[in-house]
């Protein structure tokens, strides 16, 4: 049985980097405990709701951000925090070697219905500044709060998966995750079809045409609406996730955020043998222009991502 602490030691000699991942894991373990009883505490609604004792409650997005902030403040290795919940980057200290960019609670619209949500994080070297390409990440990970609480993390090598046990220990359950090269599952919000571009429409129509269509194969569709849950399924059994640029999101650059959603997920998926693209450019090669920048996201099984890219190349 390998624990997270043992794995961290075997992955890197950089004690500061080990401690940053350990801090994010500790924050996530604490958050996991909060989420498990959130409906009792009346915390699943919007901010301003009251719990069963009639006390005002903060939304879990805010609580999650506070938990991450608390753990990172205690860690001198972290100089700066970028969070989906905070307009500006927060300076946590001087001299810390690392920046953490996080979506502390992704998919929070799923909380009211007890569906998997997650925490996503990217670790960057402070020396590189706030706006670094995804390829420069020192580490990345996410935690999925599902039937089990799973931590998926990569430093430079393989993508490792841990499960939080009843004693609060992270136990390794997958040593080197591999995204299957091929798959018969795609994930996209099909209610947005009227906004899609020709490439997205072409890819999806080819997929739903099944074994008698041009793809020559039957596909199934899955969409949790929680990126962490959709990506975790794809990491474990293959598939493709698409949140492409469409006519409604084009003015914003896309739906999902580059620094703390697209980049860490792409780093993990590519580390497990999959691919990640905007359709036209590798996500990890995007030069960021802002900390909350949004980008189109297409990632997953290599063969499927290549088929989607082929549609972009011809439209």
Positions that interact with ligand AHM (CB under 6 A): 84, 103, 106-108, 189, 225-227
Q: Considering CB distances under 5 to 8 angstroms, the limit depending on partner class, which of ligand AHM, Mg ion, none binds residue 304?
A: none
Residue 310 phi/psi, 5-degree rounding, is -65, -35
Q: Does 103 bind Mg ion (CB under 5 A)?
A: yes
Shortest Å distance, C-beta 139 to ligand AHM = 21
| Residues of this chain, 106-125, that bind Mg ion according to CB under 5 A | 106
**How far apart are alpha carbons 121 and 186 in whole angstroms?**
24
Q: Does 61 bind Mg ion (CB under 5 A)?
A: no
Q: Considering CB distances under 5 to 8 angstroms, the limit depending on partner class, which of Mg ion, ligand AHM, none binds residue 182?
A: none
Q: Which is nearer to ligand AHM, 226 or 277 (CB)?
A: 226
Please report the sign of the dihedral spanned by the C-alpha atoms of residue 98, residue 151, residue 170, residue 34.
Answer: positive
Q: Does 304 bind Mg ion (CB under 5 A)?
A: no
- Surface-to-core class of residue 87, CB atoms within 10 Å of its CB (0-12 exposed, 13-18 middle, 19+ buried): exposed
Q: Considering CB distances under 5 to 8 angstroms, the limit depending on partner class, which of Mg ion, ligand AHM, none binds residue 72?
A: none
Q: Which is nearer to ligand AHM, 152 or 155 (CB)?
A: 152
Q: Considering CB distances under 5 to 8 angstroms, the limit depending on partner class, which of Mg ion, ligand AHM, none binds residue 226?
A: ligand AHM
Q: Considering CB distances under 5 to 8 angstroms, the limit depending on partner class, which of Mg ion, ligand AHM, none binds residue 108?
A: ligand AHM
Which is nearest to 297 in space by CA: 165, 212, 220, 200? 200
CA distances from 315 to 84, 154, 200, 208 (A): 33, 35, 10, 19
The stretch among 23-31, 99-107, 144-152, 283-291 that binds Mg ion (CB under 5 A) is: 99-107
92 and 249 Cβ atoms separated by less than 8 Å: no
Residues that bind Mg ion (CB under 5 A): 103, 106
């Amino acid at each position: 049985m390998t624990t997270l602490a043992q794995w961290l030691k075997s992955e890197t000699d950089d004690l500061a980097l080990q401690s940053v991942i350990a801090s994010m894991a500790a924050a996530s373990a604490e958050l996991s405990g909060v989420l498990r009883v959130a409906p009792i505490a009346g915390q699943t609604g919007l901010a301003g709701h009251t719990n069963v004792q009639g006390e005002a409650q903060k939304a879990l997005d805010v609580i999650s951000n506070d938990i991450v902030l608390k753990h990172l403040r205690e860690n001198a290795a972290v100089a700066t925090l970028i969070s989906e919940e905070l307009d500006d980057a927060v300076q946590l200290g001087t001299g810390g070697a690392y920046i953490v960019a996080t979506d502390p609670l992704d998919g929070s619209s799923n909380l009211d219905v007890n569906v998997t949500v997650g925490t996503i994080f990217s670790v960057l070297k402070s020396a590189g500044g706030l706006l670094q390409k995804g390829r420069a990440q020192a580490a990345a990970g996410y935690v999925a709060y599902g039937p089990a609480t799973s931590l998926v993390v990569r430093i430079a090598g393989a993508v490792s998966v841990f499960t939080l046990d009843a004693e609060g220990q992270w136990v390794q359950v997958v040593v080197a995750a591999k995204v299957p090269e091929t798959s018969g599952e795609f994930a996209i919000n099909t209610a947005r079809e009227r906004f899609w571009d020709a490439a997205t429409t072409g890819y999806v129509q080819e997929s739903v045409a099944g074994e008698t269509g041009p793809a020559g194969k039957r596909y199934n569709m899955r969409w949790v609406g929680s990126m962490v849950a959709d990506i975790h399924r794809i990491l474990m059994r293959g598939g493709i996730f698409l949140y492409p640029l469409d006519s409604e999101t084009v003015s914003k650059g896309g739906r999902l955020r580059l620094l703390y959603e697209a980049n860490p997920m792409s780093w993990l998926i590519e580390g497990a043998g999959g691919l990640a693209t905007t359709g036209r450019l590798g996500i990890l090669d995007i030069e960021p222009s802002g900390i909350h920048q949004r980008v189109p996201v297409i990632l997953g099984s290599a063969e499927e991502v290549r088929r989607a890219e082929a549609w972009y190349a011809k439209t």
